[in-house]
Amino acid sequence: MGFLTAPDGVPSGSVRSPPRSKAKIGSSFLVIDHDELAHRGWTTVSRINSCDELLNLAKSLGTPLQAPTGELIKRLTVKPAAEARAGTLSATFGAKSFPLHTDTAFWSIPARYLVMRVHGDYRRSTTVLSFKRMFRDLRFDISDDVRRSVWVVRTPLASRYRMMQFQV
């Protein structure tokens, strides 16, 4: 997985890119559908075969950020709860399904996009839920309260106050 911000290091706002753009990944060009990315909050790209290609894809969307652990690309692997770092979702859930969560919410500036690549066992699924869809069926007063609420995000490294929608 890789982490990145929007173009020009802007952590929030719209992507200033053409609706469909080509990214040179390895020896081929891949089409990135920015309209779909803006509308759904996510998109898929096929034929990413290495970490270098994943990083090139991330660079075509913005400026990649290092994780707090210093990694530019973080490899996620299933770990038994006993082998995971205390205070992490892996320590709580081990190899079971994780609850819906937001990656990078605990960073000083959360990433706008996550770039993920599946390698190996494809049997584990990832649920992707856009911010708009999350609030679609809530009454306005409830969704407005949730949007404006401040939450504490606790990790083994730090605790931070966060809102559901990152704002600059």
Calpha distance 7→4 (Å, rounded): 9
pLDDT at 23: 60
b/e sequence 42-71, b meaning 16+ C-beta within 10 Å: eeebeebeeeebbbbbbebbbebbebeeee
Which residues of the chain, if any, have pLDDT below 50? 1-18
The pLDDT assigned to 83 comes to: 95
* Residue with tokens 């995000």, as numbered in its chain: 153
Let me know: does 145 contact 41? Beta carbons within 8 Å.
Answer: no
| Digit-coded pLDDT (tens) for 57-86 | 888 888 888 888 888 888 888 889 999 988
Give the pLDDT of residue 119.
74
Q: Are 36 and 109 in contact (CB under 8 A)?
A: no
- Cβ contacts of 49 within 8 Å, gap of 6 or more: 26
